[in-house]
């Protein structure tokens, strides 16, 4: 039983390392307005200004009136040669922004800025390989240094956390 658990841990760790490295999300929150009771992330709408910053978010008209609750910034890094890595990471970052906005009682975020920095890192690995010799025996020999290259993307998204009073958002006037 213990051997199976240890094997499971090693397999899981190996799969996570093999599938690509991820760093933890970092971000800042600067409260600029009134916070309210917490909501769920599903109650937070996403707007973009300017439109089209993130292609996977539908462009919705930003309401005329809203109350800014906080300035949010979140960034994360991904190491991958997968062309979808940037989109996958931006989804994670926007989800983090929505959760943070919801904790403050905001029912909307306005994405203001998206920055993607790309770099290429060189990785060198060496060690020993097990080989079979002509006499049928096995042994280890020093392996040559292997060089590989990976893309590193750092993605930063800045947004405003806002509260939308649905009675006044489109007119800018108090409800009668």
pLDDT tens per residue, the chain (176 residues)?
Answer: 444 434 343 333 333 333 333 334 578 999 999 999 999 999 999 999 988 899 889 888 888 888 999 999 999 999 887 878 889 999 999 999 999 999 999 999 999 999 999 898 888 887 888 889 899 999 888 888 888 888 899 999 999 989 988 777 666 565 44
Q: Which of 12, 26, 99, 29 is nearest to 70 (CA)?
A: 29
Q: What is the pLDDT of residue 171?
A: 61
Q: Is 29 exposed, middle or buried (CB count within 10 Å of its CB: 0-12, 13-18, 19+)?
A: middle
pLDDT the model gives residue 121: 87
Q: Quick one: pLDDT at residue 174?
A: 55
CA-CA distance, 164 to 160, in Å (whole number)? 12
121 touches 150 (CB < 8 A): yes
Question: 117 to each of 75, 78, 84, 94, 101, how far by Cα in Å?
Answer: 11, 11, 15, 17, 25
Helix (H) or strand (E) holding 16: helix 2-19
CB 109 within 8 A of CB 47: yes
- The answer to whether 157 touches 97, Cβ cutoff 8 Å, is yes
Instruction: Give the pLDDT of residue 167.
Output: 75
Q: What is the pLDDT, as a whole number, of residue 81?
A: 79
Phi/psi at 113 (nearest 5 deg)?
-155, 140
Residue 24's pLDDT is: 42
């Amino acid at each position: 039983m213990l051997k199976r658990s240890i094997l499971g841990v090693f397999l899981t760790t190996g799969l996570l390392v093999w599938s690509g490295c991820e760093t933890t999300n970092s971000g800042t929150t600067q409260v600029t307005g009134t916070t309210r009771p917490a909501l769920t992330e599903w109650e937070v709408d996403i707007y973009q200004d300017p439109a089209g910053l993130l292609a996977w978010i539908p462009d919705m008209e930003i309401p005329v009136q809203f109350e800014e609750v906080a300035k949010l910034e979140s960034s994360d890094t991904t190491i991958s040669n997968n062309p979808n890595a940037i989109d996958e990471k931006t989804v994670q970052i926007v989800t983090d922004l929505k959760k943070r906005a919801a904790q403050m009682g905001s029912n909307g975020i306005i994405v203001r800025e998206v920055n993607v920095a790309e770099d290429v890192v060189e990785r060198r690995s060496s060690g020993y390989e097990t080989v079979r010799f002509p006499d049928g025996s096995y042994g280890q020999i020093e392996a040559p240094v292997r060089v590989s290259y990976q893309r590193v993307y750092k993605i930063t998204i800045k947004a405003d956390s806002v509260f939308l009073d649905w009675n006044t958002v489109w007119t800018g006037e108090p409800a009668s």
